[in-house]
Amino acid sequence: MPELTTPAPEATGSVRRPSPGRRPSPGRIVAAASRVALADLRTVYTPLTWSVGWLGRIVTQVVFFAIIGLLLDDREALVRLFVGQAVMVAVVEVFMSVASTTWERSTGTLALLVSAPGPLWPVFVGRSLQWIPSGVATSGVALFVVGPFLGVTWTVGAAVAAGLTVLLTACAMYGVALSLAAVVLRGPRWRNIVSNVAHTLVMLVTGVTVPVATWPGWVQALAQTLPMTHGLDGVRALQAGGGPGAVGEPLLWAFLTGAGWFALAALGFTLFGEAGRRDGTIDLDE
C-alpha cells in the first residue's frame, strides 16, 4: 500500500509542542500509591473484623504453635515456638502483598502505569504497604499481650527494641514478597499459592520453628539471605535478656538483605513491564 498522508487540518491556533522533560520522583510515587494501599486496608478490614476476626485468628495461630510445647512437655520449646510464630505472623501478612500487587491488573491500571513516564516499581512498593502496619500490630499484640500469659515477659526497653526489630523485619521481608509479586504478575492466578507456599518455606528455614543450624548448608545459606532469619535472631536475643545492643548486628543484616531484595523487586517489576511490551500481555483496560 502506498504511504497515505493526510493533509494538516486548517490551523485553529498554534500546535502544541512537546513540553520540557520532567523527572518523576520515586519517593512521591510511593507516597501517592500508598494511598491506594490505605484505601484497600479500610475496605479489607473494619475495626471489628480486624480486631475480632483477623487478630483473633493470628493470636490462635501463635497459640497453636506454642502449645506444641505442651505436647513436647518442654517449656523452652514453647517459648521458642511462641516467639518465632509471633514474629512470623507479621511476615504472613506482609506476604499478602503478592496478591495485592496483582490487584493492579484487575483495577485496569497496568497499561496506564506502563505508559506513564514514572517508573513502575515505586507504584508497587507503595500500593501494598498496608500490610506492614497491620502485620506489625498483630505481631506486637502477640508478643507483648499474649506473651505474658505464656510466661514470656519483656522489659520496657526490650519491648521497644523488639517492636522496632519486628517493624524492620516486616519492611525488609516486604522486599522479598515484592520480588515474588513481580514474578506472579505474569500469572496472577498463582498469587495465593505462591504467597502461602513462600511464607511456609520462610517459616521452615529461617529459625521460626527449628534453629537454622538444623538444616543442610545450602538451606542455611538461603536462610541467611532472608531478613527474617536475622530479625528473628534479634528478637530472640532481646527476649533472652540481651540489651538493645544485642540487636545491632542482626538489624544491620536484616537491613542489608532487605535492601538487596528491594533492588531485586525493582528489577523484577521493570523486567515485567518490558516483557509485557514485548509479548503484548498488558491490555489497555487491564
Partner 1 sequence: MSVVRTVATGVVVQLRQMRGTPDWFLALFTAPLTTAVFVTIFLHAGRGDLTAYGVLAPALIALWQMSLQTAGELIAKDRENGSLEALLAAPAPFAALLGGRVLAVVAVSLVAFAEAWAVGWALTGSPVDVAHPWVFLLVLGLTALAMTGWAGVMACVFVLARSARTFQNSLSYPFYVLGGVLVPVSLLPTWVEWPSRLVFLSWSSDLLRDALAAGPVVGLGARLAAVVGLGAAGYVVAHGLLGRTLQRVRRTGSLAHA
Partner 2 sequence: MAATTSPPDALHLESLTRVFTPRGKAPVTALDGVDLRLPAGGVHGLLGPNGAGKTTLCKIACTVLLPTSGRASVLGFDVVRDAAEVRREIGIVFGGERGLYGRLSARENLEFWCAMHGLGRRETRTRVSALLDRLGLADRADSLVETFSRGMKQRVHLARGLVADPPLLLLDEPTVGMDPVSAHDFRALVGELRTEGRTVVLTTHDMAEAESVCDTVTFVDHGRVVGTGTPGDVRGLLARGSRIRVHDVADARALAGPLDLPGVLTTHDPARRTLDVDVEGGQDVVGQVMAAILAAGHTSVTAGPPSLEEVYLGLLGTDGDGNRRGMRVGS
The site for partner 2 (CB under 8 A) is made up of 1-9, 11-19, 21-25, 28-29, 31-33, 35-36, 39-40, 42-43, 107-109, 111-118, 123, 276-280, 282, 284-286
Closest to partner 2 by CB, 73 vs 278, is 278
Q: 3-state class of 83 per DSSP?
A: helix
What minimum distance in Å lies between the beta carbon of 160 and partner 2? 34
Closest to partner 1 by CB, 77 vs 178, is 77
Spatial CB neighbours of 85, under 8 Å, sequence gap ≥ 6: 61, 62, 64, 65, 66, 142, 208, 209
| CA–CA dist 51, 47 (Å, integer) | 6
Partner from partner 1, partner 2, none binding residue 259, C-beta < 5-8 Å depending on class: none
What minimum distance in Å lies between the beta carbon of 270 and partner 1? 26
| CA–CA dist 177, 197 (Å, integer) | 12
Structural contact between residues 207 and 223, judged by C-beta atoms closer than 8 angstroms: yes
| Alpha-carbon 155 to chain mean position | 28
| Rg from Cα positions in the chain | 23
Structural contact between residues 282 and 110, judged by C-beta atoms closer than 8 angstroms: yes
Give me the residues that bind partner 1 (CB under 8 A), please: 46, 49, 52-54, 56-57, 60-61, 63-64, 67-68, 70-72, 74, 77, 81, 189-190, 192-193, 196-197, 200-201, 203-204, 209-211, 214
Closest to partner 1 by CB, 88 vs 168, is 88
Structural contact between residues 107 and 183, judged by C-beta atoms closer than 8 angstroms: no
What minimum distance in Å lies between the beta carbon of 267 and partner 2? 18
DSSP state of 154: -
Closest to partner 2 by CB, 72 vs 112, is 112
What minimum distance in Å lies between the beta carbon of 27 and partner 2? 9
What minimum distance in Å lies between the beta carbon of 97 and partner 2? 17
| CA–CA dist 36, 126 (Å, integer) | 8
